[in-house]
Amino acid sequence: PRVAVIVVAAGSGTRLDAGVPKAFVGLDEHTILRHALRGVFAAPSMQVIVVAPAGREGDALTDAEEAAGDRRDLVSVVTGGSSRQASVAAGLAALWGDIQYVLVHDAARALTPPDVFARVIAELEAGAAGVVPVMPVVDTIRQMDGEAIVGVVDRSTLSAAQTPQGFPRGILERAYAAADREHTDDAAVVAAAGHAITTVAGDAIGFKITTPADLDRARALVAPVPP
Ligand code: C5P
């Protein structure tokens, strides 16, 4: 199949508070973005679009070309927007004409294994209109009204959505063109356009690096094992 992966890396990383945009924070000698792209290039992608923060396009291209190796011609870098949704839209505008399926992946999920990409692509080939990797929710989730607890949500009815999320290209493009408000992920944009979303198993290692504790965990996971 002709698959494109849009890697959104244009977030500021406010919650990480690392002084540089999150995608350019180092895990070891490589950035979060470079690690994320390693997983992307291990999957059978035909086009890789990196959505970078304004002013960081050159750094993103350096990371992408290093991760691409001899497949540099698959890579393009575009400038992101002020919301994740705007950044994905910028990526969509750069798709090649012959792409059939689009996967959208958070650079912040730097350690997502290639298996997750493969499961999403397989589900698209089976005819899905939208595919989300999910994990069970392990915490007890409380409904709040300000500071007050007003209820507990039955966690067996919940799942946590990861990326890459995959869609047939036309469905994703039309859903983005029709979106009239901000959604927190791409499956929500496509669901709002009336499509059924299917799920595949996510992977615990595909967690999103959001807080300083997440960064510590990611760094520990990529650190060489001491002799
Ligand atoms: O903020 P959050 O961690 O949920 O962002 C998820 C992903 O979306 C990150 O990889 C981030 O770089 C990206 N993003 C973006 N453009 C924005 C906001 C977030 O590409 N304006």
Q: What is the DSSP letter of 69?
A: G
Asked if the structure places residue 110 within a domain, the reply is yes
Centre of ligand 1 from the C-alpha of residue 185, in Å: 10
51 Cβ closer than 6 Å to some ligand 1 atom: yes
The parent domain of residue 104 ranges over: 3-222
Centre of ligand 1 from the C-alpha of residue 9, in Å: 6
108 Cβ closer than 6 Å to some ligand 1 atom: yes
CA distance 32 to 54: 17
Q: Is the distance from CB of 206 to CB of 103 less than 8 angstroms?
A: no
Mean predicted confidence (pLDDT) in 179-186: 95
The pLDDT of residue 56 is above 80: yes
The pLDDT of residue 109 is above 80: yes
Q: Is the distance from CB of 105 to CB of 40 less than 8 angstroms?
A: yes
Centre of ligand 1 from the C-alpha of residue 227, in Å: 37
Q: Which atom of ligand 1 is nearest to the CA of 10?
A: 20
How many whole angstroms from its chain centre is CA 165?
Answer: 7
Report the CATH number at residue 184: 3.90.550.10
Q: Is the distance from CB of 116 to CB of 162 less than 8 angstroms?
A: yes
Q: Which residue, judged by its Cα, is nearest atom 14 of ligand 1?
A: 11
Please write the tens of the pLDDT for every residue from 9-36: 999 888 898 889 999 999 999 999 999 9
Asked if the structure places residue 141 within a domain, the reply is yes
Q: Could you count the other beta carbons within 10 Å of the beta carbon of residue 147? A: 5
Number of domain units in the chain: 1
Q: How far apart are the first and last CA of the chain?
A: 43
Residue to substitute in 8, 12, 85 for testing ligand 1 pocket (most ligand atoms within 8 angstroms of CB)? 8
132 Cβ closer than 6 Å to some ligand 1 atom: no
Centre of ligand 1 from the C-alpha of residue 51, in Å: 10
Asked if the structure places residue 41 within a domain, the reply is yes
CA distance 222 to 202: 19
The pLDDT of residue 45 is above 80: no
For residue 96, what pLDDT is reported? 96
Q: Name 50's bridge partners.
A: 7, 77
Asked if the structure places residue 173 within a domain, the reply is yes
- What's the pTM? 0.96
23 Cβ closer than 6 Å to some ligand 1 atom: yes
The pLDDT of residue 71 is above 90: yes
Asked if the structure places residue 227 within a domain, the reply is no
Asked if the structure places residue 92 within a domain, the reply is yes
143 Cβ closer than 6 Å to some ligand 1 atom: no
Asked if the structure places residue 206 within a domain, the reply is yes
